[in-house]
Amino acid sequence: MKETAPQKIEDIEIRLLLEALYLKYHYDFRNYAMASVKRRLRQAREQLGFDTFSAMQERLLHEPAMLPRILGYLTVQVSEMFRDPSYFRALREKVVPHLRTYPSLRVWIAGCSGGEELYSFSILFREEGLEERTLFYATDINPDALHAAEAGVFAVDRLQLFTENHRKSGGKSSLSDYYQAAYGRASFDKGLRRNVVFSDHSLVTDAVFAEMQLISCRNVLIYFDRNLQDRALGLFKDSLARRGFLGLGAKESLRFSEHAGAFVDFVREEKIYQRRAP
Amino acid sequence: MSASPQAVVIGSSAGALEALSRILSVLPATFILPVIAVVHLPPDKRSILAELLQARCAVRVREAEDKEPITPGTIYFAPPDYHLLVEMDRSLSLSSDEPVLFSRPSIDVLFESAADAYGCGLLGVVLTGANHDGARGLNAIVEGGGSAIVQDPDSAFAPAMPQAAIEACPNARVLSVDAIASYLQEIGRS
Ligand SMILES: C[S@@+](CC[C@H](N)C(=O)[O-])C[C@H]1O[C@@H](n2cnc3c(N)ncnc32)[C@H](O)[C@@H]1O
């Protein structure tokens, strides 16, 4: 055993709060990476005006309206369209040629946040002529994020970055072909979500639901501890068709996972893996 | 000063490379403490910091990986565009949370989480820099019983960061870069 600081009251309270959140609402943050959870809960406590986490817990248990507010702190909604353009370029150049050989495709965007990643995929798939044969599943645990993803509306001041990213990803069209801007908001083409199923799904507590040819789960696993990362990777392993693809975030990898043996590196630098034939 | 440190955290921005290489290059291969550092860099740059410094250092220098256990005698740098945090079991975590004080990685985020994990066994060091990141974190380290060193602002390439740190922690030791280097050598002897 490594020595750790004696347990502080704050740490006890945080554990109890997470337990309460799980028992009452079935959101399970108990095995997330705690340093970040603690930081965000401290922010929540300060900004929501509670003196202690115990007080916050009491309100959370007795007042369901507190749930979305606390959930908003616990689930980090930072995203971009075509985030890490080199990842999307690798998909386009190396993965798409394989996907073309399938008559129909299922693609799962796990932890889709407000939809930035999903729209990046559906634009890329339209550009590559794969859109018609593809069914996308976009899942997250934060209901507000899922609503935002379904709406497909983004602040226009984010579009410069999105446009630049799209271009760097090897985009074959202009991003402005896909949205209409008015009153500071850009609404993306409804057609881009015609073949999308939006769904509440937790990588921590839910099971596999369909067989996929491609799964993209980026910047979600870093928020989990190692056991939870393995649980999620196990879901991906079980959900992927043979020779299906898995893409992770730039700083996530299979290296320390017990499931590493089920995959081969496909584009190593971009954390794109391929499921071995079992 | 407090109990002898089990780990060192360092934060710096403008002028960091020069200051850090003067400090880290004198540490011998037998240096036993882990050093965890945040340096502000342009977000889209592939980090060459660890490589650059490794070429000049006898100790092992690497870019931190998510959920990696902290090993003694190793210097870790936060990758660009991710926060770096220390977990209670003394492993490292990355996060893509919003920038803090316009910075990702944030010195405050690293320092606050390391203060939780190491308590009085932590030494925090704030070096040259042109903003106020690190001041709040250094204060958290001191509040947790750890110790604080700040580079002498007069000798710093950019004095704002050390100045803010001294204001937040008036009892921090204020030292030149060379004095910081000798002090680290001393506490990291096996
Ligand atoms: C930092 S965002 C990443 C968004 C996007 N994938 C990207 O890379 O830009 C993390 C997302 O993971 C979601 N999330 C957190 N825990 C989850 C879980 N257990 N199952 C599914 N999604 C989760 C959060 O709600 C959030 O939308």
The type of residue at A146 is: L
Residue A243 is predicted with a pLDDT of 96
CA distances from A256 to A229, A260, B20 (A): 10, 7, 30
A165 belongs to a structural domain: yes
B18 belongs to a structural domain: yes
CATH of the domain at B98: 3.40.50.180
- Phi and psi at A225, nearest 5°, equal -80, 180
Q: Whole-angstrom distance between the N-terminal and C-terminal Cα of chain A?
A: 37
Taking an 8 Å cut-off on Cβ atoms, the answer to whether B97 and A36 are in contact is: yes
- Residue showing tokens 């050598």: B185
Domain final residue, candidates A53, A74, A95? A74
- Indicate if A20 and A99 belong to the same structural domain: no
- Indicate if A97 and A41 belong to the same structural domain: no
A79 belongs to a structural domain: no
A80 belongs to a structural domain: no
B89 chain-A contacts, CB cut-off 8 A = 2, 4
DSSP-H helix ranges across A49-185: 53-62, 66-74, 85-90, 96-99, 116-127, 143-151, 159-168
Q: How many domains does chain B have?
A: 1
Long-range contacts of A44-47 (CB under 8 A, 24+ apart): A44/A69, A44/A70, A44/A73, A44/A74
Contact B172, B185 (CB under 8 A): no
The residues near B172 (Cβ < 8 Å, ≥ 6 apart) are B126, B138, B142, B148, B149, B150, B165, B166
Rounded mean pLDDT, A231-252: 97
- Where does ligand 1 bind, in terms of residues with CB under 6 Å? A 75-79, 83, 110-111, 113, 116-117, 140-142, 145, 202-204, 218-220, 249; B 96
Cα dihedral sign for A99, A105, A111, A113? positive
Q: How many domains does chain A have?
A: 2
Bigger pLDDT: A5 or A104? A104
Q: Is the pLDDT confidence value at B39 over 90?
A: yes
The type of residue at A48 is: L
Q: What are B170's two structure tokens?
A: 């008036």
Residue in B67, B82, B118 nearest the CB of A226: B67
Longest pairwise C-alpha distance within chain B: 39
A246 belongs to a structural domain: yes
Q: Give which of A106, A145, A111, A131 is closest to A192, Cα–Cα.
A: A131
B97 belongs to a structural domain: yes
d(CA A151, CA A8): 43
Ligand 1 centroid distance, CA of A114 (Å) = 9
Helix (H) or strand (E) holding B84: strand B83-86
User: pTM value?
Assistant: 0.94
Three-state secondary-structure class, residue A245: strand
The reply to whether B13 belongs to the active site is: yes
- Indicate if A63 and A138 belong to the same structural domain: no
| A40 reaches B (C-beta below 8 A) | yes
Which candidate in A10, A36, A76, A224 is best for mutational testing of the B interface (most B CBs within 10 A)?
A: A36
- Indicate if A59 and A191 belong to the same structural domain: no
Contact A58, A16 (CB under 8 A): no
- Residue showing tokens 């606390």: A70
- ipTM, two decimals: 0.92
B152 belongs to a structural domain: yes
Q: Is the pLDDT confidence value at A31 over 50?
A: yes
- Indicate if A180 and A214 belong to the same structural domain: yes
Exposure string for B62-97, b = 16+ CB within 10 A, e = fewer: ebbbbbbebeebbbbbbbbbbbbbbbbebbbbbbbb
B174 belongs to a structural domain: yes
Domain final residue, candidates A74, A105, A134? A74
The residues pairing with B123 across neighbouring beta strands, listed in sequence order, are: B8, B147
- Phi and psi at A203, nearest 5°, equal -70, -10
d(CA A48, CA B163): 32
Residue in B79, B93, B109 nearest the CB of A33: B93
Distance of CA B87 to the CA centre of its chain: 16
| A172 reaches B (C-beta below 8 A) | no
A36 chain-B contacts, CB cut-off 8 A = 83, 85, 93, 95, 97
Measured in angstroms, the CA of B152 and the nearest CA of chain A are apart by: 30
The reply to whether B12 belongs to the active site is: no
Domain final residue, candidates A14, A44, A74? A74
The per-residue pLDDT for range B45-69, each reduced to its tens digit, is 667 888 889 999 999 999 999 999 9
Q: Is the pLDDT confidence value at A6 over 80?
A: no
B69 belongs to a structural domain: yes
- Indicate if A22 and A120 belong to the same structural domain: no
Q: Give which of A214, A220, A196, A186 is closest to A146, Cα–Cα.
A: A196
d(CA A52, CA A60): 13
Taking an 8 Å cut-off on Cβ atoms, the answer to whether B88 and A34 are in contact is: yes
Residue A2 is predicted with a pLDDT of 47
DSSP B103: B
- Indicate if A95 and A230 belong to the same structural domain: yes
Contact B53, B26 (CB under 8 A): no
B2 belongs to a structural domain: no
- Indicate if A115 and A144 belong to the same structural domain: yes
B1 belongs to a structural domain: no
Measured in angstroms, the CA of B178 and the nearest CA of chain A are apart by: 32
Q: Is the pLDDT confidence value at A3 over 90?
A: no
Domain of A105 in residue numbering reads as 85-275
Domain of B166 in residue numbering reads as 7-187
- By percentage, how much of chain A surpasses pLDDT 90? 96
Q: Give which of A90, A87, A116, A91 is closest to A105, Cα–Cα.
A: A91
The per-residue pLDDT for range B75-133, each reduced to its tens digit, is 999 999 999 999 999 999 999 999 999 999 999 999 999 999 999 999 999 999 999 99
A111 belongs to a structural domain: yes
The residues pairing with A214 across neighbouring beta strands, listed in sequence order, are: A107, A245
Q: Is the pLDDT confidence value at B2 over 60?
A: no
Beta carbons within 10 angstroms of residue A149's beta carbon? 25
CATH of the domain at A97: 3.40.50.150
Rounded mean pLDDT, A195-206: 98
Distance of CA A236 to the CA centre of its chain: 13
Rounded mean pLDDT, B173-178: 98
- The torsion defined by the Cα of A140, B78, B165 and B13, in degrees rounded to 10, comes to -110
- Indicate if A65 and A112 belong to the same structural domain: no
- Indicate if A57 and A164 belong to the same structural domain: no
